[in-house]
């Protein structure tokens, strides 16, 4: 039986995938996004150890709330850091008729990750920026990896939702929206793209960790600004 590191669990989430979901936030992430809302999940040494059985037995208790399209979501942190543990949870979810969703940055590709994807019904993939420089500077990985990950999802016939956090002055511009729509139009596996507002509520978490919140200098976009960008994006997707 596989064991893995978990940061926290949300029993009835509505923001992390289709329908109502049992959301497991895994511990550990190899990236360091400037706007990371959950910095306490980054260090793989933290968190609490659980077995895949313990997780699935908890999720089963909420099965009646999942409806037709809800289920279990593995988020983080970065679930791809613990692919065998995640795959075993998804395998057991399927054995119990529970839909599986993965929320990921797509920053790791290997055999174990491919096996995990084979057991995933729905993928939420972050495309954090649409130019190489910003990816390198504000995320800490090459932009080519999540794009290669998206190619793998296309090849495997997965249904994908792309997500991007909008940070004023960094990516709240037409060029970014155009590039995002180009990515969506290039990959038929993408069923929608969701733009999310950058938020600063996590500042206290950085303070508690004695770390500087480097994105404090950026503004939070208004609902209206996000709606305008989302509308532009939707109208340029074929």
Q: What is the DSSP pairing of strand 3-13 with strand 48-51?
A: antiparallel
CB of 218 to ligand SF4, least distance (A): 15
Query: Which of these segments, 1-9, 25-33, 51-59, 213-221, binds ligand SF4 (CB under 6 A)?
Result: 25-33
Residue closer to ligand SF4 by CB (options 98, 146) is 146
42 lies in the binding site for ligand SF4 (CB under 6 A): yes
d(CA 71, CA 141): 30
Query: Which of these segments, 29-37, 57-65, 115-123, 219-227, binds ligand SF4 (CB under 6 A)?
Result: 29-37
CB of 28 to ligand SF4, least distance (A): 9
Give the residues across from 164 on adjacent strands. Answer: 195
162 lies in the binding site for ligand SF4 (CB under 6 A): no
7 lies in the binding site for ligand SF4 (CB under 6 A): no
Give the residues across from 192 on adjacent strands. Answer: 161
Query: Which of these segments, 52-60, 64-72, 75-83, 194-202, binds ligand SF4 (CB under 6 A)?
Result: 75-83
77 lies in the binding site for ligand SF4 (CB under 6 A): yes
| Residue 212 burial class via C-beta count within 10 angstroms: exposed 0-12, middle 13-18, buried 19 and up | exposed
d(CA 90, CA 56): 9
The CA-CA-CA angle for residues 210, 49, 118, to 5°, reads 105
Residue closer to ligand SF4 by CB (options 42, 171) is 42
d(CA 43, CA 112): 21
164 lies in the binding site for ligand SF4 (CB under 6 A): no
The tokens describing 232, both together, are: 């532009």
d(CA 180, CA 196): 14
Residue closer to ligand SF4 by CB (options 4, 77) is 77
d(CA 214, CA 58): 37
Residue closer to ligand SF4 by CB (options 66, 76) is 76
CB of 32 to ligand SF4, least distance (A): 5
32 lies in the binding site for ligand SF4 (CB under 6 A): yes
CB of 238 to ligand SF4, least distance (A): 29
Q: Is 168 helix (H, G, I), strand (E, B) or coil?
A: coil
Q: Is the backbone peptide bond immediately before 77 cis, with ω within 30 degrees of 0?
A: yes
Q: Which residues bind ligand SF4 (CB under 6 A)?
A: 29, 31-33, 36, 38, 41-42, 76-78, 105
């Amino acid at each position: 039986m596989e064991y893995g590191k978990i940061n926290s669990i949300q029993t009835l989430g509505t923001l992390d995938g289709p329908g109502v979901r049992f959301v497991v936030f895994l511990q550990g992430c190899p990236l360091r996004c400037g706007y990371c809302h959950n910095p306490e999940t980054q260090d793989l040494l933290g968190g609490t150890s659980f077995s895949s059985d313990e997780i699935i037995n908890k999720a089963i208790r909420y099965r009646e709330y999942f409806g037709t399209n809800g289920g279990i979501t593995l988020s983080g942190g970065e679930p791809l850091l613990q692919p065998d543990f995640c795959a075993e949870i998804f395998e057991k979810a399927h054995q119990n008729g529970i839909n599986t969703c993965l929320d990921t940055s797509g920053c790791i590709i290997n055999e174990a990750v491919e096996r995990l994807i084979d057991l995933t019904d729905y993928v939420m993939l972050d495309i954090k920026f649409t130019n190489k420089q910003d990816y390198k500077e504000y995320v800490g990985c090459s932009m080519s990896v999540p794009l290669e990950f998206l190619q793998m999802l296309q090849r495997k016939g997965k249904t994908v939702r792309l997500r991007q956090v909008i940070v004023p002055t960094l990516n709240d511009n037409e060029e970014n929206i155009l590039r995002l729509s180009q990515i969506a139009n290039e990959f038929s596996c993408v069923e929608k793209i969701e733009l999310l507002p950058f938020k600063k509520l996590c500042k206290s978490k950085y303070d508690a960790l004695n770390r500087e919140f480097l994105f404090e200098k950026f503004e939070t976009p208004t609902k209206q600004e996000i709606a305008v960008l989302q509308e532009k994006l939707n109208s340029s997707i074929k």
